[in-house]
Structures are given as structure tokens and as C-alpha cells.
Amino acid sequence: MRSQWECLLKNLGEWQGSFTQFSPDGEQLGDTPSILNLEEVNNNQTVRLTLRRFPPNQPEKEQVLEFTDVEQNIMFCETGAFSQGSTQWIASSQFWAEFALVEGDRRLRLVQMFNQAHQLSWLTLIREKLAGTDAPERPALTWEQLLGEWQGEAVTIYPDSRSPETYSTHLKLQQEDPHHLVQQLKFGTGTSVRTITSTARIDGSILHFDQSTLPVQVLLLPDGASSNCPREVKPGHRFVLEIGWLYQPDHRQRLIRSYSDKGDFLSLTLVKEERVKRF
């Protein structure tokens, strides 16, 4: 298994893209072109990150950071995918998470930000490609593009010294009526297999899973992306934050942060799925 530093190096290169901010309802609030360069310096002992942003009608903004190891609050997967963010939900404090998925010459990142009232405040979608490549962007995601049966493999890593866990996943999404979808998710191995069935209410580019005590929404976004999170985090409830990416018509990745009912960060899971049946 690669070290966290080796996984970080999977992100080296000059990434050209943009930061697009959305409201919780999916309204685009702004778009800022960007260039992010990640390079090895000091005889490959250091990684330097240079982020240049070009806000409309404003001066260029530049940020430079250097790393000699991987910080504790960021976790990398074998593919180079990573996530960082709040390791504990605390009342009256901002709460956030960043996700990044890598596929070939393209990268997709998402930031979910919750305000001090525990409510989803805004999201930033960051779509990037390596300089000198012409990797096309995917169309905006629709729920119709997700219908079918998906089989995949999940790898869960932990912030402590526990070994990663690998297990199979099976996801079935079908339309129940013009206004609802039914989702069945099965994951695990042997006697630890779990099955979760839920119903989503279709509301344009939002899927509302609002039948539980902690309502969750899936926001469908440009470039085949999706954001899955509660509209409001409440004490005493386990919850997850997730990015999804339909990077090919029948291939998808998901990256999931899991939190306990006390608000503690528990694990990070990367799921790679392939559609085996269309509905």
C-alpha cells in the first residue's frame, strides 16, 4: 500500500480550472478561473502548492504553501483522491469538508460549508484538468443518468492506526413514480452485509431524502458531480458528507466522510462503481 506522501504525489502537475460557488439550492453564485500548480522542490523533499485565482474585474490572487509531510487532518486514497475538513462537529462553530477525486487528466473537488447555525451555507465545485490536455468535461448530472444497478468496491481508511477495509457494494436506483426514486444500497462482506433502502423526492436538480430524522439532500451539479449532505447537522445523529462523480456514462466514484452521533470524524471511504444494468 502506498504511503500518504506517495498518494499526495499522484496530484502533482499544473491543474487548470475554476472555482464555482453554489447556494444550497443549486443556484450558481459565482465562478472564478484558477491555476493550481503542485510541484516537488528541495530535491523532492518538499511539495510546493501555488494557487492563482482570477476573479472577474479584480486583481489576481495568489497563495503559496509548502509541505514536507501530510498534515493530520488530510487523508489520501491510493488513487490520489483526498479529503480534509473538520474532524469534529462543535455547536456554534463553522463546519466544513473538502473532497477531491482524480481520474486520468481530470480532477474534481468540492467544498461543503456549514454556518454556525449548523445549516449548509454554500458549496464550491472545483473542476480541473492537467495543463496541455483536452480531457472533456462531463454534462451536468441528472437523476436519469444514475438509474440502474451499480456494482463496486469500497475502501475505508481510518484516522487512527487501523488497517484499511475493502468490501463490495451494490447500489440500485429506480424511479417509483414521476416524483420519487427508490434507492437500495447494500455493502459489506459475510455476516456484516448491510442493506439500506430509502426514497428520494425529486425537486429539479435536488433529490430530497427527507423521511429520516436527519433529512439529507443530493444536489446534482455540472461535470457529472453530486453533493450529498444534510441541510442541517443536528446533535445526536450519525451523518455522512459525500461527493459523487459520474466521470464516464457507466463509471462513477464517490468519496464519503462518516461522522458519529457525537460529531466525531470516523472514516473516509472511496467507492468505485460500474453500472451493470440500466433501467
Domains of the chain: 4-277 (2.40.128.20)
DSSP secondary-structure letter at 237? -
Confidence of residue 190 (pLDDT cuts 50, 70, 90): confident
Task: Provide mean pLDDT across the span 51-69.
Answer: 97
CA-based max dimension of the chain: 60
- pLDDT on residue 175: 98
Cα separation of 247 and 226, whole Å?
11
The pTM score is 0.96
SS3 6: helix
pLDDT at residue number 4: 95
- What type of residue is 147? L
The span from the first CA to the last CA of the chain, in angstroms, equals 37
Grid coordinates representing 41 are: 522542490
Number of Cβ atoms within 10 Å of the Cβ of 87: 14
pLDDT at residue 276 tops 80: yes
The DSSP symbol for 260 reads: -
pLDDT of residue 90: 86
Confidence of residue 235 (pLDDT cuts 50, 70, 90): confident
- Record the cell numbers describing residue 186, joined without a space: 447494500
The pLDDT value recorded for residue 76 is: 98
> What grid cell was written down for 155?
475502501
Q: What is the mean pLDDT of residues 240-244?
A: 98
Interval 225-239 mean pLDDT:
95
pLDDT band at 50 (very low <50, low <70, confident <90, very high): very high
* Cell numbers linked to 179: 416524483
Quickly state the pLDDT bin for 161 (edges 50, 70, 90): confident
Rounded to 5°, angle at Cα 59 from 55 and 64: 85
Which of these ranges, 87-91, 102-106, 115-119, has the smallest mean pLDDT?
A: 87-91
Q: What is the mean pLDDT of the chain?
A: 96
pLDDT band at 266 (very low <50, low <70, confident <90, very high): very high
Q: Is the CB of residue 107 less than 8 Å from the CB of residue 11?
A: yes
Name the percent of the chain lying above pLDDT 70. 100
Q: Which of 11, 161, 8, 160 is nearest to 87 (CA)?
A: 160
Residues 6+ apart with CB under 8 A from 46: 40, 66, 67, 68
> Are 111 and 124 a contacting pair, CB within 8 Å?
yes
Confidence of residue 264 (pLDDT cuts 50, 70, 90): very high
* Nearest alpha carbon to residue 187 among 158, 217, 166: 166
Average pLDDT over residues 244-260: 98
Local confidence band at 92 (pLDDT 50, 70, 90 cut-offs) = confident
pLDDT at 28: 98
**CA distance linking residue 155 with residue 170, whole number of Å:** 14
Structure confidence at residue 188 (pLDDT): 87
